[in-house]
Amino acid sequence: MKNFTSVNDVPNIEKLVQDALNAKANPLKMNDLGKGKTMGLLFFNPSLRTRLSTHKAALNLGMSVMTMDMDKHGWKLEFEDGAVMNANTAEHIREGAAVISQYCDIIGIRTFPTLTDRKQDYSEHILNQFMQYATVPIVSLESATRHPLQSLTDLITIREHQKTERPKVVLSWAPHPKALPQAVANSFLEWMIAANMEVSVTHPEGYELSPEFAQNVPIEYNQKKAFEGADFIYTKNWSSYNDYGKILAQNSNWMITPDKMAVTNEAYFMHCLPVRRNVVVADAVIDSKQSLVIQQANNRTYAAQAVLKNILT
Protein backbone atom coordinates (compact mmCIF):
# COMPACT_ATOMS: atom_id res chain seq x y z
CA MET A 1 0.00 0.00 0.00
CA LYS A 2 1.49 3.37 -1.00
CA ASN A 3 -1.05 5.90 0.31
CA PHE A 4 -4.12 5.51 2.52
CA THR A 5 -6.78 8.04 1.59
CA SER A 6 -9.82 5.87 0.81
CA VAL A 7 -10.99 2.28 0.66
CA ASN A 8 -9.77 2.25 -2.96
CA ASP A 9 -6.16 2.28 -1.73
CA VAL A 10 -6.65 -1.04 0.06
CA PRO A 11 -5.97 -4.19 -1.96
CA ASN A 12 -7.69 -6.52 0.54
CA ILE A 13 -9.82 -5.01 3.30
CA GLU A 14 -10.44 -8.24 5.21
CA LYS A 15 -6.68 -8.78 5.40
CA LEU A 16 -6.28 -5.23 6.72
CA VAL A 17 -8.93 -5.96 9.37
CA GLN A 18 -7.01 -9.12 10.30
CA ASP A 19 -3.75 -7.13 10.52
CA ALA A 20 -5.48 -4.74 12.92
CA LEU A 21 -6.85 -7.58 15.06
CA ASN A 22 -3.35 -9.13 15.15
CA ALA A 23 -1.92 -5.76 16.23
CA LYS A 24 -4.58 -5.58 18.95
CA ALA A 25 -3.68 -9.06 20.23
CA ASN A 26 0.03 -8.21 20.33
CA PRO A 27 0.63 -4.46 19.88
CA LEU A 28 4.44 -4.56 20.23
CA LYS A 29 5.11 -7.60 18.05
CA MET A 30 6.40 -5.45 15.16
CA ASN A 31 8.16 -2.97 17.41
CA ASP A 32 11.26 -2.98 15.14
CA LEU A 33 9.51 -2.44 11.80
CA GLY A 34 9.60 1.35 11.92
CA LYS A 35 12.94 1.77 13.67
CA GLY A 36 14.77 4.84 12.37
CA LYS A 37 11.66 6.03 10.51
CA THR A 38 9.63 9.17 11.27
CA MET A 39 5.87 9.71 11.13
CA GLY A 40 4.76 13.30 10.54
CA LEU A 41 1.27 14.28 11.71
CA LEU A 42 -0.08 17.52 10.21
CA PHE A 43 -3.30 19.02 11.54
CA PHE A 44 -5.25 21.82 9.89
CA ASN A 45 -8.15 21.06 12.30
CA PRO A 46 -8.62 19.84 15.89
CA SER A 47 -8.40 16.18 16.90
CA LEU A 48 -8.23 14.04 20.02
CA ARG A 49 -8.53 10.40 18.87
CA THR A 50 -6.83 10.60 15.50
CA ARG A 51 -3.89 12.52 16.88
CA LEU A 52 -3.23 10.30 19.88
CA SER A 53 -4.10 6.91 18.37
CA THR A 54 -2.02 7.44 15.23
CA HIS A 55 0.89 8.65 17.36
CA LYS A 56 0.51 5.57 19.57
CA ALA A 57 0.34 3.27 16.53
CA ALA A 58 3.59 4.73 15.15
CA LEU A 59 5.29 4.30 18.55
CA ASN A 60 4.09 0.67 18.73
CA LEU A 61 5.86 0.09 15.40
CA GLY A 62 9.07 1.72 16.68
CA MET A 63 8.71 4.95 14.67
CA SER A 64 9.48 8.46 15.89
CA VAL A 65 6.66 10.98 15.62
CA MET A 66 6.55 14.71 14.85
CA THR A 67 3.25 16.56 15.06
CA MET A 68 2.46 20.02 13.78
CA ASP A 69 -0.72 22.06 14.12
CA MET A 70 -0.52 23.67 10.70
CA ASP A 71 -3.31 26.14 11.45
CA LYS A 72 -1.50 27.49 14.53
CA HIS A 73 2.21 26.98 14.00
CA GLY A 74 2.77 26.65 10.26
CA TRP A 75 3.09 29.43 7.68
CA LYS A 76 -0.20 29.93 5.91
CA LEU A 77 0.01 27.72 2.83
CA GLU A 78 -0.83 28.72 -0.73
CA PHE A 79 -2.42 26.01 -2.90
CA GLU A 80 -2.98 27.92 -6.18
CA ASP A 81 -0.47 27.51 -8.97
CA GLY A 82 0.87 30.75 -10.30
CA ALA A 83 -0.43 32.73 -7.31
CA VAL A 84 1.12 36.13 -6.70
CA MET A 85 1.70 35.67 -2.99
CA ASN A 86 1.50 39.28 -1.86
CA ALA A 87 -1.39 38.78 0.60
CA ASN A 88 -1.97 36.26 3.45
CA THR A 89 -0.23 33.10 2.27
CA ALA A 90 3.47 32.86 3.09
CA GLU A 91 4.54 29.46 1.75
CA HIS A 92 3.52 27.44 -1.30
CA ILE A 93 2.44 23.80 -1.00
CA ARG A 94 5.13 22.94 -3.58
CA GLU A 95 7.91 23.83 -1.14
CA GLY A 96 5.99 22.93 2.01
CA ALA A 97 5.20 19.34 1.00
CA ALA A 98 8.65 18.76 -0.51
CA VAL A 99 10.41 20.01 2.62
CA ILE A 100 8.27 18.01 5.06
CA SER A 101 8.93 14.90 2.92
CA GLN A 102 12.65 15.25 3.70
CA TYR A 103 11.96 15.04 7.44
CA CYS A 104 9.30 12.30 7.42
CA ASP A 105 8.93 8.79 5.97
CA ILE A 106 5.12 8.89 6.14
CA ILE A 107 2.93 12.00 6.38
CA GLY A 108 -0.54 12.03 7.92
CA ILE A 109 -2.81 14.99 7.15
CA ARG A 110 -6.09 16.19 8.61
CA THR A 111 -7.89 18.73 6.50
CA PHE A 112 -11.62 19.43 6.84
CA PRO A 113 -13.83 20.77 4.04
CA THR A 114 -14.68 24.46 3.68
CA LEU A 115 -18.41 23.52 3.60
CA THR A 116 -18.84 26.58 1.37
CA ASP A 117 -17.21 25.47 -1.91
CA ARG A 118 -18.53 22.00 -2.78
CA LYS A 119 -16.58 21.67 -5.99
CA GLN A 120 -13.29 22.44 -4.27
CA ASP A 121 -14.06 20.21 -1.26
CA TYR A 122 -15.12 17.21 -3.36
CA SER A 123 -12.04 17.59 -5.58
CA GLU A 124 -9.96 17.01 -2.41
CA HIS A 125 -8.04 20.13 -3.35
CA ILE A 126 -5.68 20.15 -0.34
CA LEU A 127 -5.08 16.41 0.13
CA ASN A 128 -4.38 15.93 -3.57
CA GLN A 129 -1.83 18.70 -3.65
CA PHE A 130 -0.02 17.17 -0.70
CA MET A 131 0.00 13.86 -2.61
CA GLN A 132 1.28 15.61 -5.72
CA TYR A 133 4.16 17.48 -4.08
CA ALA A 134 5.12 15.12 -1.24
CA THR A 135 7.64 12.42 -2.07
CA VAL A 136 6.61 10.01 0.71
CA PRO A 137 3.35 8.07 1.41
CA ILE A 138 0.34 10.07 2.61
CA VAL A 139 -2.21 8.88 5.17
CA SER A 140 -5.53 10.71 5.47
CA LEU A 141 -6.35 11.65 9.06
CA GLU A 142 -9.78 12.82 7.72
CA SER A 143 -9.98 14.82 4.54
CA ALA A 144 -12.71 16.96 3.01
CA THR A 145 -14.82 13.99 1.91
CA ARG A 146 -13.54 10.89 3.73
CA HIS A 147 -12.27 9.56 7.08
CA PRO A 148 -10.81 6.15 6.16
CA LEU A 149 -8.99 5.44 9.46
CA GLN A 150 -12.34 5.89 11.21
CA SER A 151 -14.15 3.63 8.75
CA LEU A 152 -11.54 0.90 9.09
CA THR A 153 -11.95 1.16 12.87
CA ASP A 154 -15.72 0.90 12.47
CA LEU A 155 -15.39 -2.20 10.31
CA ILE A 156 -13.03 -3.84 12.83
CA THR A 157 -15.47 -3.08 15.65
CA ILE A 158 -18.40 -4.53 13.69
CA ARG A 159 -16.40 -7.66 12.81
CA GLU A 160 -15.63 -8.12 16.53
CA HIS A 161 -19.32 -7.89 17.51
CA GLN A 162 -21.38 -9.23 14.60
CA LYS A 163 -23.48 -12.32 15.34
CA THR A 164 -24.48 -13.11 11.77
CA GLU A 165 -22.62 -13.40 8.48
CA ARG A 166 -24.16 -10.24 7.01
CA PRO A 167 -25.40 -7.95 9.79
CA LYS A 168 -27.96 -5.21 9.25
CA VAL A 169 -26.12 -1.91 9.66
CA VAL A 170 -28.05 1.37 9.74
CA LEU A 171 -26.35 4.72 9.30
CA SER A 172 -28.54 7.26 11.07
CA TRP A 173 -28.30 11.02 10.76
CA ALA A 174 -28.75 12.83 14.10
CA PRO A 175 -29.05 16.51 14.96
CA HIS A 176 -26.11 18.80 15.75
CA PRO A 177 -25.97 22.55 16.41
CA LYS A 178 -23.03 23.15 14.01
CA ALA A 179 -22.65 22.32 10.33
CA LEU A 180 -20.43 19.23 10.08
CA PRO A 181 -18.66 17.52 7.18
CA GLN A 182 -20.15 14.56 5.29
CA ALA A 183 -16.77 12.80 5.47
CA VAL A 184 -17.48 10.24 8.21
CA ALA A 185 -20.82 9.24 6.65
CA ASN A 186 -19.40 9.09 3.10
CA SER A 187 -16.51 6.95 4.17
CA PHE A 188 -18.63 4.69 6.35
CA LEU A 189 -20.88 3.82 3.38
CA GLU A 190 -17.89 3.27 1.12
CA TRP A 191 -16.38 0.76 3.55
CA MET A 192 -19.66 -0.98 4.44
CA ILE A 193 -20.35 -1.55 0.74
CA ALA A 194 -16.81 -2.88 0.21
CA ALA A 195 -17.24 -5.21 3.21
CA ASN A 196 -20.58 -6.47 1.83
CA MET A 197 -22.70 -5.43 4.84
CA GLU A 198 -26.48 -5.08 4.63
CA VAL A 199 -26.28 -1.32 4.94
CA SER A 200 -29.01 1.32 4.79
CA VAL A 201 -29.24 4.98 5.69
CA THR A 202 -31.87 7.11 7.41
CA HIS A 203 -31.98 10.90 7.44
CA PRO A 204 -34.47 13.73 7.04
CA GLU A 205 -35.23 14.79 3.47
CA GLY A 206 -32.58 17.12 2.13
CA TYR A 207 -29.64 15.30 3.74
CA GLU A 208 -29.03 12.92 0.81
CA LEU A 209 -25.32 12.20 0.51
CA SER A 210 -23.29 12.67 -2.65
CA PRO A 211 -24.31 10.11 -5.32
CA GLU A 212 -20.65 9.01 -5.46
CA PHE A 213 -21.01 7.69 -1.89
CA ALA A 214 -24.77 7.05 -1.57
CA GLN A 215 -24.56 4.58 -4.51
CA ASN A 216 -27.66 2.40 -4.32
CA VAL A 217 -27.77 2.20 -0.52
CA PRO A 218 -31.47 2.15 0.49
CA ILE A 219 -32.75 5.36 2.14
CA GLU A 220 -35.58 5.23 4.71
CA TYR A 221 -36.87 8.65 5.72
CA ASN A 222 -38.74 7.24 8.73
CA GLN A 223 -36.01 6.79 11.33
CA LYS A 224 -37.89 4.39 13.61
CA LYS A 225 -38.87 2.22 10.68
CA ALA A 226 -35.22 2.16 9.54
CA PHE A 227 -34.17 0.93 12.99
CA GLU A 228 -36.44 -2.15 12.93
CA GLY A 229 -34.36 -5.32 13.15
CA ALA A 230 -31.01 -3.47 12.95
CA ASP A 231 -27.89 -5.11 14.43
CA PHE A 232 -25.80 -1.92 14.46
CA ILE A 233 -26.91 1.72 14.67
CA TYR A 234 -24.12 3.96 13.43
CA THR A 235 -24.94 7.57 14.23
CA LYS A 236 -23.48 10.71 12.69
CA ASN A 237 -24.56 14.22 11.90
CA TRP A 238 -23.72 15.78 8.56
CA SER A 239 -24.68 19.00 6.86
CA SER A 240 -26.57 19.02 3.58
CA TYR A 241 -24.73 18.00 0.42
CA ASN A 242 -27.35 19.41 -1.97
CA ASP A 243 -27.84 22.71 -0.12
CA TYR A 244 -24.14 22.54 0.48
CA GLY A 245 -22.87 22.86 4.05
CA LYS A 246 -26.25 24.00 5.41
CA ILE A 247 -28.27 22.91 8.45
CA LEU A 248 -31.79 22.66 7.04
CA ALA A 249 -33.87 22.48 10.23
CA GLN A 250 -33.37 21.61 13.90
CA ASN A 251 -34.88 18.08 13.66
CA SER A 252 -34.28 17.53 17.39
CA ASN A 253 -36.67 14.54 17.24
CA TRP A 254 -33.91 12.67 15.35
CA MET A 255 -31.81 12.21 18.52
CA ILE A 256 -31.01 8.55 19.28
CA THR A 257 -33.19 7.54 22.23
CA PRO A 258 -33.98 4.29 24.08
CA ASP A 259 -37.46 4.00 22.49
CA LYS A 260 -35.87 3.96 19.03
CA MET A 261 -33.18 1.46 20.07
CA ALA A 262 -36.00 -0.75 21.43
CA VAL A 263 -37.24 -1.63 17.92
CA THR A 264 -33.79 -2.87 16.82
CA ASN A 265 -32.42 -6.40 17.12
CA GLU A 266 -30.71 -5.36 20.40
CA ALA A 267 -28.45 -3.28 18.19
CA TYR A 268 -25.10 -1.97 19.23
CA PHE A 269 -24.78 1.81 19.24
CA MET A 270 -21.77 3.28 17.43
CA HIS A 271 -20.41 6.80 16.97
CA CYS A 272 -16.95 8.04 15.91
CA LEU A 273 -16.82 10.67 18.71
CA PRO A 274 -16.68 13.47 19.72
CA VAL A 275 -20.41 13.38 20.42
CA ARG A 276 -22.78 15.92 21.94
CA ARG A 277 -24.76 14.12 24.61
CA ASN A 278 -28.51 14.63 24.71
CA VAL A 279 -28.40 16.33 21.31
CA VAL A 280 -27.09 13.52 19.09
CA VAL A 281 -27.68 10.68 21.54
CA ALA A 282 -29.47 10.36 24.89
CA ASP A 283 -27.34 9.51 27.94
CA ALA A 284 -29.35 6.30 28.41
CA VAL A 285 -28.17 5.02 25.01
CA ILE A 286 -24.51 6.05 25.06
CA ASP A 287 -24.17 4.78 28.65
CA SER A 288 -25.95 1.48 27.92
CA LYS A 289 -24.18 -1.86 27.60
CA GLN A 290 -24.98 -1.78 23.87
CA SER A 291 -22.78 1.27 23.34
CA LEU A 292 -19.45 0.54 21.62
CA VAL A 293 -18.08 4.07 21.44
CA ILE A 294 -15.13 3.57 23.82
CA GLN A 295 -14.13 0.25 22.23
CA GLN A 296 -14.43 1.89 18.82
CA ALA A 297 -12.00 4.63 19.88
CA ASN A 298 -9.62 1.98 21.23
CA ASN A 299 -9.59 0.29 17.83
CA ARG A 300 -8.33 3.51 16.24
CA THR A 301 -4.81 2.60 17.42
CA TYR A 302 -4.90 -0.84 15.79
CA ALA A 303 -6.48 0.44 12.58
CA ALA A 304 -3.67 2.99 12.26
CA GLN A 305 -1.10 0.35 13.18
CA ALA A 306 -2.35 -1.98 10.42
CA VAL A 307 -2.22 0.85 7.87
CA LEU A 308 1.29 1.98 8.87
CA LYS A 309 2.53 -1.61 8.88
CA ASN A 310 1.28 -2.12 5.33
CA ILE A 311 2.91 1.10 4.15
CA LEU A 312 6.22 0.23 5.86
CA THR A 313 6.46 -3.29 4.42
Identity of the residue numbered 146: R
Grouping H, G, I as helix, E, B as strand and the rest as coil, residue 66 is strand
**Count of C-beta atoms within a 10 Å radius of residue 2:** 10
How does strand 106-110 pair with strand 168-173? unpaired
Strands 64-69 and 106-110: unpaired
Out of ligand AN0, ligand CP, none, what residue 48 binds, judged by CB under 5 to 8 A for its kind, is ligand CP
Say whether residue 229 binds ligand AN0 (CB under 6 A).
no
Task: Give kind and range of the element (H or E) at residue 232.
Answer: strand 232-236
Q: For residue 37, with 0-12 CB atoms within 10 Å meaning exposed, 13-18 middle and 19 or more buried, which class applies?
A: middle
Q: How far is Cα 214 from Cα 190, in angstroms, rounded to an integer?
A: 8
Stretch that binds ligand CP, among 41-49, 71-79, 120-128, 174-182 (CB under 6 A): 41-49
* Residue 63, contacted partner among ligand AN0, ligand CP, none, CB below 5-8 A by kind: none
Residue 218 binds to ligand AN0 (criterion: CB under 6 A) = no
In angstroms, rounded to a whole number, what is the distance separating the alpha carbons of residues 309 and 311?
5
Examine residue 50 and tell whether it contacts ligand CP (CB under 6 A): yes
Pairing of strands 232-236, 168-173: parallel
> Does the footprint of ligand CP cover residue 272 (CB under 6 A)?
yes
Does the protein bind ligand AN0 through residue 274 (CB under 6 A)? yes
**Does residue number 273 form part of the binding site for ligand CP (CB under 6 A)?**
yes
Query: Interface with ligand CP includes 295 (CB under 6 A)?
Result: no
* Residues binding ligand CP: number (CB under 6 A): 9
Residues in 166-185 that interact with ligand AN0 by CB under 6 A: 180-181, 183-184
What does 180 bind: ligand AN0, ligand CP, none (CB cut-off 5 to 8 Å by kind)?
ligand AN0
Q: Residue numbers of the site for ligand AN0 (CB under 6 A)?
A: 180-181, 183-184, 272, 274
Q: Residue numbers of the site for ligand CP (CB under 6 A)?
A: 47-50, 142, 150, 272-274
